[in-house]
């Protein structure tokens, strides 16, 4: 289920430790009022096609709660694009699935969620991701910033005269790996502002994750929208600065996603409904 829970660890940790800050409104909702939380979106992956697209719905918990976020099982979830429409069916743990939708390049997808007497809506578009020109690993000695080990790298060519935004994911032995660090906003997501149309050599999708002999490494390059890029940028900055809240670090402000509450604009949903295109490759680390 690589299309789910990828950012949930980050989002949920932020939700548990945060409260809503909205500089455009003086209205503060009661902490006990549950908010809709969305985790997931649409992923086009021609390398390892998904058997179903999955979206998870949850609600916020009380400020001091240490339990997992409550799941939502009674929502209506529909995704549309142009004249096409797909209904997502609840399976378990707030997860809604649809095995018929096949995300396509250039399309804009809109999700409509009806829950708790209110209607939410959000949209995102898919742009094509460039392929890997080469995919490999290299051994690097220990430095002040990183441990010694093997690091996955790839070469790729950015399309010319097209504004692109990328998000990198790294899996170690099939487990998604991310280190909460403010630097994530500068490393895991990037715009092509300074390399438009150029080939990039030796891109490291996460230089904080070394591999050992025998490890299986999978790296993904996602083409994402500018709005999703901005959302992830704020998310990585805030969760990277979490530190240890037990010793007095202030909680971060939750970040605005792209779901609008059409029934009650002040009761905004949290999280982001995304639509992305994915390039990926897998390699086993062996001795050279």
Q: What is the mean pLDDT of residues 261-267?
A: 95
Tens digits of per-residue pLDDT, 60-119? 876 555 567 899 999 999 999 999 999 999 999 999 999 999 999 999 999 999 999 999
Band of the pLDDT at 184, cuts 50, 70, 90?
confident
Q: What secondary structure, in 3-state letters, does 1-53 show?
A: CCCCCCCHHHHHHHHHCCEECCCCCCCCCCCCCCCEEEEEEEEEECCCCCCCE
Looking at the predicted structure, is the pLDDT value of residue 18 above 50? no
3-class DSSP assignment, residue 21 = coil
Band of the pLDDT at 51, cuts 50, 70, 90?
very high
Q: Is 257 or 246 the better-scoring residue by pLDDT?
A: 257
Return the residue matching tokens 């891109």.
203
**Least confidently predicted of 32-41, 108-117, 183-192, 235-244:** 235-244
For the chain, domain boundaries: 8-127+224-279, 132-222
């Amino acid at each position: 289920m690589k299309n789910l829970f990828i950012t949930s660890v980050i989002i949920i940790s932020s939700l548990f430790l945060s409260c809503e800050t909205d500089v455009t409104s003086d209205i503060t909702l009661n902490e006990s009022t549950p908010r809709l939380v969305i985790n997931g979106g649409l992923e086009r992956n021609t390398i390892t096609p998904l058997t179903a697209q999955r979206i998870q719905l949850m609600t916020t918990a009380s400020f001091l709660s240490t339990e997992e976020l409550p799941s939502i099982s009674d929502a209506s979830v529909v995704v549309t694009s142009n004249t096409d429409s797909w209904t997502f069916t609840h399976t378990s743990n707030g997860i809604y699935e649809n095995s018929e939708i096949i995300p396509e390049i250039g399309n804009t997808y809109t999700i409509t969620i009806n829950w708790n007497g209110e209607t939410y809506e959000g949209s995102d578009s898919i742009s094509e991701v460039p392929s890997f020109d080469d995919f490999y690993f290299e051994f690097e000695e220990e430095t002040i910033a990183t441990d010694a080990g093997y690091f996955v790298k790839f070469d790729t060519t950015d399309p010319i005269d097209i504004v692109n935004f990328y998000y990198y994911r790294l899996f170690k032995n099939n487990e998604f790996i991310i280190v909460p660090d403010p630097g994530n906003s500068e490393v895991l997501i990037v715009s092509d502002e300074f390399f438009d149309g150029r080939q990039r050599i030796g891109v490291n999708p996460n230089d904080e994750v070394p591999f050992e002999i025998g490890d299986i490494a999978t790296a993904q390059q996602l083409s994402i929208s500018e709005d999703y890029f901005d959302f992830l940028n704020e998310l990585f900055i805030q969760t990277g600065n979490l530190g240890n809240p037990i010793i007095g670090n202030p909680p971060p402000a939750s970040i605005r996603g792209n779901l609008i509450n059409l029934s009650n604009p002040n009761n905004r949903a949290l999280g982001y409904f995304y639509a992305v295109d994915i390039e990926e490759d897998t390699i086993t680390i062996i001795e050279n």
